[in-house]
């Protein structure tokens, strides 16, 4: 993206941000609250409207080809985007139908986040961590080419955190690209190939990490 500006009301959440991510990389986006990390992820997902500048995701312009961008990305946001009155299985089946995936994909996603035994439980009855796992399963189900993870470890126990790390590793092995916005630097840094430091709506520093350094 080049000189990307995104406004939240009149406030420039992104104020001329430049960023280029190579396929198959894991980029840790770090920065203080209000720096623009979440807005950056939303822009990459084709959800935040670009006021000026340009942004291309997986070869598609985020303004002109929103639907293509959205169909190729998976966004884990602070809101779980799950329907409380449906079971986890019903939620996953619904999103699987809309994104053209099968029952087998749903089951695989549930297994991946170790939630098979809770599949028939309504979301409203789940703990915060279990809801978070279910939300992660929805992202995993889509098998996106670009994973956008906003504080993916938040609210998870050790087992859940390990699942997130494993999913990031699996995604990279499958050739996907991962962007993780997180305050848990010690947790994400070992997985990251790059670190983008964001403040005031722009990228202040972009580092390439040496593997296993």
Partner 1 sequence: MREIWAVARKDLRIEARSKVVATQVLPFALIILVLFGLALDADRSTLRAFTPGLFWVATLFAAILAIQRSVSVETSSSAFEALRLSGTPGWKLFGGKALAVALQLVAIEAVLAIGVVVLYRSSFADPVLVVTAALAATVAIAAAGSLYGVLAVGMGVRDTILPMLLLPILAPVLVAATRAFDDGLGTAAVNGWSWCGLLGLFALIYVVIGSAAYAVVIEDA
Residues near partner 1 (CB under 8 A) are 45-47, 49, 67-68, 70-71, 73, 75, 77, 79-86, 90, 94-95, 97-99, 122, 138
Q: CA 75, 81, 83 angle in degrees (round to 5)?
A: 150
Q: Which is nearer to partner 1, 97 or 205 (CB)?
A: 97
Decide: 196 and 30 in contact? Cβ < 8 Å.
yes
Q: Which is nearer to partner 1, 70 or 153 (CB)?
A: 70
Decide: 129 and 117 in contact? Cβ < 8 Å.
no
Q: Which is nearer to partner 1, 46 or 155 (CB)?
A: 46
User: How far apart are CB 4 and partner 1 at their closest, in Å?
Assistant: 18
User: How far apart are CB 28 and partner 1 at their closest, in Å?
Assistant: 22
Q: Based on the number of CB atoms within 10 Å of its own CB, is 71 exposed (0-12), middle (13-18) or buried (19 or more)?
A: middle
- Distances 140 to 59, 99, 166 between C-alpha atoms, Å: 22, 12, 11
User: How far apart are CB 85 and partner 1 at their closest, in Å?
Assistant: 4
Judged by DSSP in three states, 136 sits in helix
Q: Which is nearer to partner 1, 10 or 212 (CB)?
A: 10
Q: Which is nearer to partner 1, 144 or 193 (CB)?
A: 144
CB count in 10 Å sphere of residue 32: 12
Calpha distance 16→27 (Å, rounded) = 19
User: How far apart are CB 73 and partner 1 at their closest, in Å?
Assistant: 7
User: How far apart are CB 121 and partner 1 at their closest, in Å?
Assistant: 13
């Amino acid at each position: 993206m080049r000189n990307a500006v995104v406004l939240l009301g009149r406030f420039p959440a992104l104020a001329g941000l430049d960023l280029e991510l190579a396929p198959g990389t894991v980029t840790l986006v770090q920065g203080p609250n209000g720096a623009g990390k979440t807005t950056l992820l939303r822009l990459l997902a084709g959800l935040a409207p670009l006021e000026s500048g340009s942004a291309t995701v997986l070869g598609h312009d985020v303004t002109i080809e929103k639907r293509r961008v959205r169909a190729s990305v998976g966004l884990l946001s602070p809101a779980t985007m799950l329907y409380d009155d449906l079971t986890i299985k019903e939620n996953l089946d619904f999103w699987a139908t809309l994104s053209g995936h099968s029952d087998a994909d749903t089951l695989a996603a549930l297994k991946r986040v170790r939630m098979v035994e809770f599949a028939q439980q309504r979301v409203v009855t789940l703990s915060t961590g279990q809801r978070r796992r279910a939300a992660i399963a929805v992202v995993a189900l889509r098998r996106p080419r670009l994973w956008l993870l906003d504080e993916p470890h938040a609210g998870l126990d050790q087992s859940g955190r390990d699942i997130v790390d494993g999913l990031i590793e699996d995604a990279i092995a499958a050739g996907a690209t991962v962007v993780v916005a997180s305050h848990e630097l010690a947790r994400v840094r070992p997985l990251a190939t790059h670190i983008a430091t964001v403040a005031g709506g722009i990228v202040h520093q972009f580092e390439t990490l040496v593997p296993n350094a």
